[in-house]
Structure 1
Amino acid sequence: MAERRMFSKSVIWCDMFLEMPLSSQALYMHLNMSADDDGFVGNPKTILRMIGASEDDFKILVTKGFVIVFESGIIVITHWKRNNYIQKDRYKGTIYKDEKSYLNISNNNLYEKTERICIQNVSDLDTQDRIGKDRLDKGSIDKGRGEEESPPPPNSKTYGEFHNVKLSDEEYQRLKEKLKSHTNTMIEKLSRYIKSTGKTYQDHYVTILNWYEQDKEKLSQKKTGKIPTIEDYDKGEHL
């Protein structure tokens, strides 16, 4: 197995990556370093514990489409073939053949999870293929944050003025621990934004965390600074 790992600037310097908390960015780096030559990681939970990352850090990577999770718990790095170029004489195929059989490679050189396909469809592809490696298709890196809303978390409750923010009891308590006095402010902001724009989000909990990471400095200066409005969110990209 090759010892070196690389990162494409088109992936780690895009706004979507840089908007994540630094802890999620660091976790992404460690997962890449631990992956095999096909981008698979068989022990992601162990890596989380080793570096002190949280489940939220991992959940953000999944929601934003930077990693793909299989039912077995094994993951694969979505942009692996953009990040890495491995010479054939150093390449060692993954042992996770079953998980690999669910993957296809898009025209943008990204892994896509599909229905089970013939393993040969992926294995026969040249490991040296770098077509479009340094060109980032904005639509492709946004994969995993589409407009379809995922089912709400089990035993979820609705929050916000318009009762359209769905959170489980555990997620709400974790928000209170992380956001403290700003919890209701961020919930209401998301509630109004969904109502006014009609947009849907895959995960309301992660969306609130991301918005808070962007706004926490301004929120801490509430008495002297301007708090972002709904219009401010419409100018940027969010989950």
Structure 2
Amino acid sequence: MADKRMFSLKIVDSDLFLDMPLSSQCLYFHLSMRADDDGFVNNPKKIIKIIGANEDDLKILIAKGFVIVFERGIIVITHWKINNFIRKDRYKPTLYENEVQSLSQTKNGMYIKEVGCHLVDQRLTSGQPSIDKGRLDKVSIDKGREESTPPPNSKKYGEYQNIILTDEQYKALQEKLQSHTDTMIEKLSRYIKSTGKTYQDHYVTILNWYEQDKDKLSQKKTGKIPTFEDYDKGEHL
């Protein structure tokens, strides 16, 4: 396995990447440095502890699409082949063949996870894979059912009771956001109600929005708080 890694400015200089907390950005670099030659990491939790990050940073990377997570806790760097080119005489294939088989690859080298879909074309080719439409429809329906089921011990928050948080997540928000917790919950609640948009993880979305707003929130008396239109212009979960 090579001991040197590269990073593309197309990825790490993007607004989507730079909008993340510095701790999430740092975790991305450390995961990439420790990945195998196909971009897989089998010990993300260990790396999180070593560098003093937390699991929220990993959740942000997953939600933003910078890493893909598998059932066994293994992850892969989504843009690995955009970042890295490894010579054939130094390349060592990953040990995680099952995970490789669940991935396809776009023309520019970005990994895509195909869950439960039948790929007609060979995986990890330079072209887009063909997907059995019937299987895809079934996966979409099942996914919708899963997302509509709130996690255990969760409660509804916000003016419109459309923000789903567990007790642990709400306590974590109070610790991180302090007096701004209810402000950010209400902001997301109104935004979802007014736009009809859905989010996979309300907790991570609130954290992301707070990271973008915290400087302005601290200057609330003299500064302008972002409006819904401001959020439409940016990248969010």
Matches within 5 A, 1:67-216: 67-114=67-114, 115=116, 121-122=122-123, 150-151=147-148, 152-216=150-214
Distance in 2 between the 1:86 and 1:150 partners?
38
Distance in 1 between the 2:117 and 2:164 partners?
32
For 1:179, the aligned partner's letter is L
1:55 is the counterpart of 2:55:
yes
SS in 2 for 1:175: helix
Distance in 1 between the 2:185 and 2:98 partners?
41
Task: Output one character per residue of 1:1-37: Cα deviation in whole Å (capped at 9) or x when no partner.
Answer: 1121001111111111111001000000000000000
Matched-pair contact (CA < 8 Å) for 1:8–1:83: yes
CA RMSD, 1 decimal: 2.1
For 2:77, the aligned partner's letter is I
List alignment gaps of at least 5 residues for structure 1. Answer: 132-147
List alignment gaps of at least 5 residues for structure 2. Answer: 128-143
Task: Output one character per residue of 1:35-85: Cα deviation in whole Å (capped at 9) or x when no partner.
Answer: 000100011111000000101000001111111111111111111111100
Distance in 1 between the 2:48 and 2:23 partners?
10
Structure 1 residue 104: Cα displacement: 1.4
- Percent of aligned pairs with the same amino acid: 68
Task: Output one character per residue of 1:204-236: Cα deviation in whole Å (capped at 9) or x when no partner.
Answer: 111110110011011111222222222322232
Distance in 1 between the 2:177 and 2:211 partners?
10
With a CA cutoff of 8 Å and minimum separation of 6, indicate the structure with the bigger relative contact order: 1
Which residue number in structure 1 is paired with residue 2 of structure 2? 2
The structure that is helix-richer by fraction is 2
TM-score (norm 1): 0.85
Matches within 5 A, 1:35-50: 35-50=35-50
Distance in 2 between the 1:157 and 1:78 partners?
32
Q: In 2 relative to 1, CA 190–228 (structure 1 residues): closer, same or farther, beyond 3 Å?
A: same
For 1:150, the aligned partner's letter is E
Structure 1 runs (4+) deviating above 6 angstroms are: none
TM-score (norm 2): 0.85
Distance in 2 between the 1:90 and 1:49 partners?
30
Structure 1 residue 108: Cα displacement: 3.3
